[in-house]
Every structure is written in structure tokens, then in C-alpha cells.
Amino acid sequence: MKKKILIMVASPKKERSGTLIPTKAFVDGMLESGDYEAEYIFIDRLHITPCRGCLSCWGRPDGSCFMKDDDVPAVREKLINSDIVIWSFPLYLFGVPGQMKVLMDRIVGMVHPYMGQKLKDGESAMNSHLHGLQFQKEGQKIILLSSCAWMDLDVVYEPIRKQFDIILGHEGYTLIACPQMRALDHRGGPRRLKMLRDKYKLGGEELAKTGSISQKTIDLLQKPLFSNEAYETLVVEFVTHMFDRDDNF
């Protein structure tokens, strides 16, 4: 039986998401092994009622929400039972897009409940996670594949790292960040876009073959494809002519 890759697409641009370019290439690389099958879910198309804040999910043995009549119960089952979960999202105000956060809040019952404990002296959220998943297929891998406008990835992804380290633990997920997407998707040109796809495909192949992605490969995937100067020129042009574009939506 094939292993399952679940791709949670969080960009409200859906099929027109720039983040989808590296995401699809990465998934295609995994699919080439013949060992996997993939399902894409566009979060913006789901019916998700926001969390009501009761935390009754933490009192239920299966951690499920009391609300059963939207798309969350079915998605939660898929999240639990997939072998690889890829959250594909644009960086929004140094965090995740609202649609993704609304879904994350609704599935808070998937993490171990907070039982009132105090951290021991010297113990910080950064060296031990505060929750961890309590419902997760054995061996499941979680990948955060995100794109952003900036290229100073250490700085702009610090809040995401802190948030996911504290929730899942440093070893509980792998972050791959794709910089310069503000111009890459529209002005990358065929050569640069091919370079982008090729390297993300290699990343996917590596994950399928070895079960992990080396830091060396992550560094390669995260390397900017424009020089700083070329990128700045393109972004200025892009922002200046934004209102002329006919694909604003």
C-alpha cells in the first residue's frame, strides 16, 4: 500500500499560490519513488467554524471538537492518518495566514493538554516542547513549506520557529522556507523557475529515499535565486505597478 502525503495549501490564492510552485515540485519528487500518493487540500475552500474556546476537546479521549458539522472532523482524520503532512503557506505578518490559524485552533485537541504544570528551573520552551502531538500516525513527518517576500530567513521565520518549537518541539517538524517569492512567481522567468522546481524536486526525492532531508539540502532549497539588487529592482517595479495588474483578486 502506498504511503500518504497530505498537502494543506494555506494560501488564499489557492491554485495561483506562489508557494505551490516549490510545493508541487517537492511532492512530485516524492511521487517519483512510486511509494507515495498525494492529496491536496485547499484550506481556503473548506468550511471551518472558528474555535469557540471551550477546550472541551482536551477532555475527550479522542481530542475531538464538539462541532461536527463542518469540514474539520474529516480533515483532522486525514491529518492524523497521513505519513507526510506538508503545510504549504505564505508568511503573513511573520506568522501563518489567518485561514491556517483558524484551522490550527480547531484541532488543538490533537496536542497533549496543558495540565497546569510549571516549567522546571532552566527549562525553556525552546529546549522542550510544551505540547507535542497526542494523535499522530507512527513515523509521521510534518513539513512546513513556506514562501515569503524577504530573504533574511533567520529573521523573518523566527516567530514561526518559536511557535512550532514550543508546540511540537524542534524535532517535531521540518521548516523549509522559500525566499523572494514576491517576484519569483511573476518575474522568475523560465530558467529561474526551472531551477526552483528542479531543486525542490530533488528535496522531495531525498525525503522519499532516505526518510529525511539533510541540512545541506535545506540550505540549497532556501538559497535565494535573485541577487539582492535584482530582487529589489523587481519588487519596486512589482509594487509600483500592482494596481495596473489585471489579476488582483
- By the criterion CB under 6 A, which residues form the site for ligand FMN? 11, 13, 17-19, 90-94, 147-150, 156, 181-182
> Rounded to the nearest whole angstrom, what is the least distance from the CB of residue 115 to ligand FMN in the complex?
34
Residues 6 or more apart in contact with residue 99 via CB below 8 angstroms: 10, 12, 43, 44, 48
72 φ, ψ (degrees, to nearest 5): -65, -45
By beta-carbon proximity to ligand FMN, the closer residue of 138 and 247 is 247
Closest to 76 in 3D by CA, of 116, 112, 113, 48 = 48
Nearest to ligand FMN of 25, 181 (CB atom): 181
Identity of the residue, 36 or 231, whose beta carbon is nearer to ligand FMN in the bound complex: 231
CB of 17 to ligand FMN, least distance (A): 3
Nearer to ligand FMN, 130 or 235 (CB): 235
* Nearest-approach distance from CB 182 to ligand FMN, in angstroms: 5
CB of 150 to ligand FMN, least distance (A): 4
CA distances from 23 to 75, 85, 88, 144 (A): 19, 12, 7, 10
Nearer to ligand FMN, 38 or 67 (CB): 38
- Least distance in angstroms from the C-beta of 122 to ligand FMN: 32
